[in-house]
Amino acid sequence: MTNPFLEPSSLPYALPPFAEITDDDWLPVFEAGLEQQRAELEAMATDPTEPTFANTLEALEHSGRILARVEHAFFDKASSDSNDVTDALELELAPRLAEHADAIRLDPRLWRRLEALDARSDQLDLTAEQRYLLERTVADFGRAGAALGDDDKEVLRRLNQELSTLTTRFEKALLADTNDLAVVVHDPAELRGLTEGQLGAAAEAARERGLEDAWVVSLVLPTGHPLLASLDDPALRERVMAASLSRGRRGGEHDTRALVLEIARLRARRAVLLAFPDHASWVTAGETAGSPAAVAELLGRLAVPAARNAAAELADLRQLASSEAGSGSGSDTDGGEVRASDWAWWAEKVRAERFDVDTAAMRDYFEADRVLHDGVFHAASRLYGLEFAERRDLVGPHPEARVFEVTEDGGAPVGLYVLDLYTRDSKRGGAWMNPLVSQSDLLGLPPVVVNNLNVSKPAAGSPTLLTLDEVTTLFHEFGHALHGLLARVTYPSFSGTNVFRDFVEFPSQVNEMWMLWPEVLENYAVHHVTGERMPRELVEKLVASRTYGEGFATSEYLASALLDQAWHRLSPEQADRVDDVEAFEQEALAAVGLDRPQVPPRYSSTYFAHTFSGGYDAGYYSYIWSEVLDADAVEWFEENGGLSREAGDRFRARLLGVGGSKDPLEAYRDFRGRDARVEPLLERRGLA
């Protein structure tokens, strides 16, 4: 069989040969990869010699190379540029890959070898990384059910296969419904308030759908939409919000409510089978949090002041709306009432009045290529000595994806960075980082990572201007990319972002700091027409206004995080009794005081991709959990030179560079000299 994945890629940094890959290549090489790893593991399981680190753990790390190569490439393709073939194949592969993973973790012969190694670990001459690999592998196999009896293992296999299929179906249904619900506008008067660039992007989205004399507002993954802050027409704002909120709950083939209920039920059953009271307990036992109680303690500490601040912000919005009621300035509500669809629009008005800040006008200073080179790359160069050179000779996963070679002092190779910036109907919502090649000294592999964003593509010949939120997202996702690029580990299990889920957001959140750091902002925030730098007073006003709106932002986030916990703290009996998704949501949010209709959850259950298809099940709390570390680390940078090579080298050596090869909280203590304090987070979000 001839297939581009059967042998390691000969391209620089082992970049997958995307130019050679066809849809016909995927299934045969998945078949070959599964067969290869099964044979490798059978040889290991039947090895008559005494288990050693080399013939057991290192053999596990060596196994499945074909499968690893094709999985990295295929799942980026399936999430960023899907088609009917990849959709069907992903549904077919989901239960098979779940079955294959269970065949490894539930093999009693492998488990006995691991137990034997663990029992005499003190007698083994292991490095710190090897000892941690043994510890983590035994723990992961144990949590996966390796010690269960045969009958329970068979039940577990069926549950895992069903769940893999259901979560894949959820993702596909959500993407289809999101595309179907894009708001089509035929009257340009409805779009007043948008800039020429925003209008051009909406026209381009319509053109790509074959629509003439129309504009399309494509939905984003969160409930709110960036254009709600600019659209002057309250009726159109309400149409966009209504479309967003209705995803997955309109009936028909794309309705996700039945999937949500069944996923919650099966996860609850699986948790009890694995000797945990609920799914959240099973998940957090393998994270730094350790238990749902620890998560509840942090979220509960934040919920009350967040709701209080959101109420105060709403009062401000109502006051302004009331004063302008009937003036035709954007409110059609009685007595200045503010709906969820109006919040962002009025918040911009309050921000402009109180702080003299117009975030929409800032887009002229955020031309995408300049933000990338003179902002994102510039900060990484100053901190870590990295250099970036575009490789137009290398083909990425999509024709619009750009490939950059990353080197450091003296031209020493680091890896490849791929950026796929623009939205399209074939790309799932949100923004994320994937490895295309996972770094490993054992396998001699360098890192290749990709960032996917969903920025609206402008009309031909027009510049790509980013919103403030999109600039934040680019810096954030590049923080994940840095984690993948700079980790230097021996074993692929510890590569890059292979860390505890509730720690993985920490490096990316820290990287957001540099977007407003004076030396960085002054370097990239340049007006795309006049060439003038963003005025210093505008920057100062922006910084002064940053805590404004945190009541809303924290409340909408916490509502989703607590909703995620509510679904996954159900026992099987409780889950079986839930038959109404909307009623369950309302009750769960009311219980924590976050049921304010003007502040809907950032993600509602029917389009909560993070928790029902994206690997953050019972783990959406991770963002705020990691932000405790992030805010504390930012305080360290501010006290220790800020944007300096010395500070960057310490952060790289003690946190980014260790990947998953060390307990993350131990790594943080090594960097900071102590545990993180929660006070910097409370101050940042105005919750102190």
Q: H-helix or E-strand containing 434? A: strand 432-437
Whether 333 has a pLDDT exceeding 50, the answer reads no
Whether 543 has a pLDDT exceeding 90, the answer reads no
**What is the rounded end-to-end Cα distance, in angstroms, of the chain?**
63
- 408 pairs with which residues across the strands? 412
Taking alpha carbons only, the member of 39, 171, 78 closest to residue 397 is 78
- In angstroms, how far is CA 564 from the centroid of its own chain? 15
CA 158 to CA 271: how far, in whole Å? 14
CA 245 to CA 257: how far, in whole Å? 13
Yes or no: say if 545 and 680 are a contact pair by the CB < 8 Å rule: no
Share the mean pLDDT of the chain.
Answer: 96
HSE-CB of 400 using CA atoms within 13 angstroms: 16
Q: What is the pLDDT of residues 66-80, one digit of tens each?
A: 999 999 999 999 999
Whether 481 has a pLDDT exceeding 60, the answer reads yes
- 440 pairs with which residues across the strands? 445
Q: What's 535's DSSP letter?
A: P
- 35 pairs with which residues across the strands? none
Yes or no: say if 421 and 400 are a contact pair by the CB < 8 Å rule: yes
Structure-block tokens of residue 351: 């921000």
- pTM above threshold 0.85: yes
Structure-block tokens of residue 25: 């290549």
Yes or no: say if 67 and 103 are a contact pair by the CB < 8 Å rule: no
Structure-block tokens of residue 404: 């950059």
Yes or no: say if 317 and 346 are a contact pair by the CB < 8 Å rule: yes
Whether 138 has a pLDDT exceeding 80, the answer reads yes
CA 321 to CA 330: how far, in whole Å? 9
Sequential DSSP letters for 465-532: B--HHHHHHHHHHHHHHHHHHH---SSGGGSTT-S-HHHHHHHHHHHGGGGG-HHHHHHH-B-TTT-P
Structure-block tokens of residue 271: 């948790």
CA 166 to CA 151: how far, in whole Å? 23
CA 445 to CA 255: how far, in whole Å? 42
Look-up of token digits 């993070």 = 610
Interacting residues of 474 by C-beta distance below 8 A, sequence separation 6+: 371, 372, 376, 451, 453, 466
The reported pLDDT for the residue numbered 532 is: 96
CA 480 to CA 468: how far, in whole Å? 19
* Average confidence (pLDDT) over 131-159: 98
CA 235 to CA 159: how far, in whole Å? 45
Q: What's 182's DSSP letter?
A: P
The reported pLDDT for the residue numbered 361 is: 86
Whether 328 has a pLDDT exceeding 60, the answer reads no
The reported pLDDT for the residue numbered 335 is: 55
CA 234 to CA 128: how far, in whole Å? 60
Which of the residues are catalytic?
A: 477
Q: What's 687's DSSP letter?
A: -
Structure-block tokens of residue 138: 């035994």
3-state secondary structure (DSSP) of residue 314 = helix
Taking alpha carbons only, the member of 476, 420, 457 closest to residue 79 is 420
Q: With bands split at pLDDT 50, 70 and 90, how would you rate the model's confidence at 203?
A: very high
Q: What is the pLDDT of residues 444-465, one digit of tens each?
A: 999 999 999 999 999 999 999 9
* Average confidence (pLDDT) over 367-374: 98
SS3 of 326-371: the string is CCCCCCCCHHHCCCHHHHHHHHHHHHHHHHCCCCHHHHHHCEHHHH
Yes or no: say if 300 and 294 are a contact pair by the CB < 8 Å rule: no
Q: What is the pLDDT of residues 640-672, one digit of tens each?
A: 999 999 999 999 999 999 999 999 999 999 999
The reported pLDDT for the residue numbered 591 is: 94
Yes or no: say if 406 and 418 are a contact pair by the CB < 8 Å rule: no
Interacting residues of 687 by C-beta distance below 8 A, sequence separation 6+: 302, 305, 306, 309, 550, 554, 681
The reported pLDDT for the residue numbered 331 is: 46
Taking alpha carbons only, the member of 383, 452, 415, 394 closest to residue 80 is 452
Taking alpha carbons only, the member of 558, 686, 598 closest to residue 347 is 598
HSE-CB of 159 using CA atoms within 13 angstroms: 21
Residue 623 CA: distances (Å) to CA of 362, 508, 509, 680: 26, 10, 8, 15
Sign, CA dihedral 572-573-576-579, equals negative
Q: What is the pLDDT of residues 561-596, one digit of tens each?
A: 999 999 999 999 999 999 999 999 999 999 999 999
Q: φ, ψ for residue 407 (rounded to 5)?
A: -130, 170
Q: With bands split at pLDDT 50, 70 and 90, how would you rate the model's confidence at 546?
A: confident
Taking alpha carbons only, the member of 573, 607, 520, 527 closest to residue 224 is 607
Yes or no: say if 613 and 163 are a contact pair by the CB < 8 Å rule: no
Structure-block tokens of residue 129: 């990384």
Whether 550 has a pLDDT exceeding 50, the answer reads yes
CA 115 to CA 137: how far, in whole Å? 10
Whether 330 has a pLDDT exceeding 80, the answer reads no
Neighbours of 653 (CB within 10 A): 14
Q: With bands split at pLDDT 50, 70 and 90, how would you rate the model's confidence at 65?
A: very high
CA 483 to CA 474: how far, in whole Å? 14
In our burial notation (b when 16+ CB lie closer than 10 A, e otherwise), range 225-234 reads bbbbbbbbbb
The reported pLDDT for the residue numbered 348 is: 93
The reported pLDDT for the residue numbered 332 is: 47
Residues in the chain: 688
Q: With bands split at pLDDT 50, 70 and 90, how would you rate the model's confidence at 1?
A: low
* Average confidence (pLDDT) over 379-395: 98
Q: Which residue has the higher pLDDT, 331 or 588?
A: 588
Q: Identify the burial level of 359 via C-beta atoms within 10 angstroms of its C-beta, where 0-12 means exposed, 13-18 middle and 19 or more buried.
A: middle
Which amino acid type is present at position 217? V
CA 307 to CA 593: how far, in whole Å? 7
Domains and CATH numbers, the chain: 12-105+107-147 (1.20.1050.40), 364-500+508-532 (1.10.1370.40)
